[in-house]
Amino acid sequence: MATVGQDTTDTAARGAPLHRAERDLVALGILVAAILLFVGTGSTVLTGMARSWIYGVGKPDVLLTNALILNIALLLFGWRRYAELNSEIAERRKAEEHATRLARTDALTGCLNRRSLDEAIIALVDSAAESGGEVAVMMIDLDKFKRSNDLLGHKVGDAVLVETAQRIEALLPPRALLARLGGDEFICAAVVAPDSETVIEQLALQINDALAEPIHAFGLRAAVTASIGIAVGSRGVVPNAAHVSQDLLHRADLAMYQAKRRGRNRFAWFEPNMETELHFRSELEQGIREGLQRGEFVPYYEKQIDLETGELTGFEMLARWISPQYGLVSPEVFIPVAEEIGLIAELSEALIALALEDARTWDPRLTLSVNISPLQLRDPWFAQRLLKMLVAANFLPARLEIEITETCLHENIAVVRTLITSLKNQGICISLDDFGTGYSSLAQLRTLPFDRIKIDRSFVSSLGQSADSASIIEAISSLGRGMALPITAEGIETADVLAALRRFGQFKGQGYLYGQPASAEDVKRELAALGLLTSTAENAPAPDAPITDTATARRA
């Protein structure tokens, strides 16, 4: 029935213009006939009427007079219809222009849209070929726009996109084009003279600076930055203008992602090795997905030591990927990728479950620390799932320490506070990781119920070489004592650093001085040798006796 209805509608739509054309043809015939009739009868009738009125001779022919009056009426009708036709044609032309504009431009910002972008760049490429210039393309992507859009609302998000387009357009040279690809991606392109790298970079810097300025809309303040990828090419790169267009867009897109990986709010030029990186990135993403299903991700453990006594107090769980293709892969490689493709929560929880099973066999006085991704902090059900894992592993919550990086506090402080409170209510300890590298305030430390702060390894490892690092650690140590917060120092790699740390107070510490992170099997063998497994309880020390790694104590 839908098809029949559609056919009927189409037939009616086709019939309407035909009907109008027939009416217009009839009106045109009437107008032509009226003109001919007026020419044929007008002179005779008007001459007779003039003689009758002026000289009183004879009378005008009534029939011809009536015909002339009818003829005048027909002329007026024809003229009115002619005016209506002109008005209708003008309206149709305006509607067609509006429809064409809607089809070629973005409804929100007024920029070109994806449909018309290729054609516009092809025209630029042809123009550059004639003038001897090159086409420069910039791919502009707003950083973390989705998060801002979710927090402030879609009305503010739309206002940000409109203002972004206006700020970019104000900086572009004449005859440059600006397009919105959808979402928060923009493309600008222009013909430039050869060897114009400096000019292009200045424009990119100006765009970065302009977009970094806050945007005020509906009483709210939005702050976004942009990552920009730049590619330059001409017809000589590939066979024809259409291929040049696609090649430039592809290259600019690769460069834009490189700018994001370098820290965002910057620009990057396309380089040939980016193609290789893209291929590697694609393989890496596929490897992570398959490796997660095959159980290739495993926990490794780094010792945590009481610096004053040399006692082993616990371990921090670190993620490792044992890949058949790449070997042992560092988390610095795969964790950012897992976050971007949305697998970090599944990966993290799988590793936590394995770590809880491993740590269950350790001496009950040994703790387990695990890091939480900022993405997991946005999940309102994370605390409940973590509690289920603790119950399944029969692991005491008090032995688990969750580490939250300092930069997470600015994602959404209300959500972070709720999660921390929920975890604390379950008896889990909360540690503020990488302290000193973010923007946390004393008010946040006072209002959020942290149990420990961890000094970032960048300050600790340079302790013997940098006076600034020593000052920062001394300040953090004083802060910890004043707020009754224990402190852990990461990155202890030499005896000199250890000796310097001891001067600032009592710390827990971890680092390569106490050994490289080890697999679960290696940790289990070492703890078994020390009598620190629950399965060898008869060899375990008394409850109040120190848990000492003798090799560690000798190094300390």
Residues 349, 423 within the same domain? yes
Would you say residue 496 lies in a domain? yes
Residues 198, 332 within the same domain? no
pLDDT tens track for 245-282: 888 998 999 999 889 988 889 999 998 888 887 788 88
Residue 63 has pLDDT above 80, yes or no: no
C-alpha span between 33 and 434 (Å, rounded): 93
Would you say residue 9 lies in a domain? no
Nearest to 447 by CA among 495, 413, 493: 413
Residues 94, 154 within the same domain? no
The count of domains in the chain is 3
SS3 of 303-359: the string is EEEECCCCEEEEEEEEEEEEECCCEEECHHHHHHHHHHCCCHHHHHHHHHHHHHHHH
Residues 444, 401 within the same domain? yes
Would you say residue 109 lies in a domain? no
Asked whether 191 and 128 are in contact (CB, 8 A), the reply is yes
SS3 of 127-168: the string is HHHHHCCEEEEEEEEEECHHHHHHHHCHHHHHHHHHHHHHHH
Residues 144, 222 within the same domain? yes
Residues 382, 520 within the same domain? yes
Would you say residue 8 lies in a domain? no
Residue 329 has pLDDT above 60, yes or no: yes
pLDDT tens track for 166-187: 999 999 999 899 999 888 999 9
pLDDT tens track for 380-437: 889 899 999 999 999 999 999 999 887 677 666 777 888 888 899 889 999 988 886 6
Q: Give me the count of residues in the chain.
A: 556
The CATH number covering residue 178 comes to: 3.30.70.270
The DSSP call for residue 542 is P
Residues 371, 486 within the same domain? yes
SS3 call for 124: helix
Residues 341, 254 within the same domain? no
Residues 237, 306 within the same domain? no
SS3 call for 232: strand
Confidence of residue 551 (pLDDT cuts 50, 70, 90): very low
Residues 241, 350 within the same domain? no
Would you say residue 283 lies in a domain? no
Would you say residue 163 lies in a domain? yes
Out of 208, 240, 271, a domain closes at 271
Residues 153, 134 within the same domain? yes
Residues 258, 391 within the same domain? no
Of 160 and 17, more confident: 160
Query: What is the pLDDT, as a whole number, of residue 12?
Result: 41
Domain range for 497? 290-548
Angle at 115 between CA 111 and CA 121, to 5 degrees: 75
C-alpha span between 480 and 452 (Å, rounded): 8
The CATH number covering residue 398 comes to: 3.20.20.450
pTM score, whole prediction = 0.62
Residues whose CB falls within 8 Å of the CB of residue 317, separated by 6 or more in sequence, listed in order: 299, 300, 301, 351, 352, 355, 368, 369, 370, 371
Out of 104, 127, 149, a domain closes at 104
Would you say residue 410 lies in a domain? yes
Would you say residue 485 lies in a domain? yes
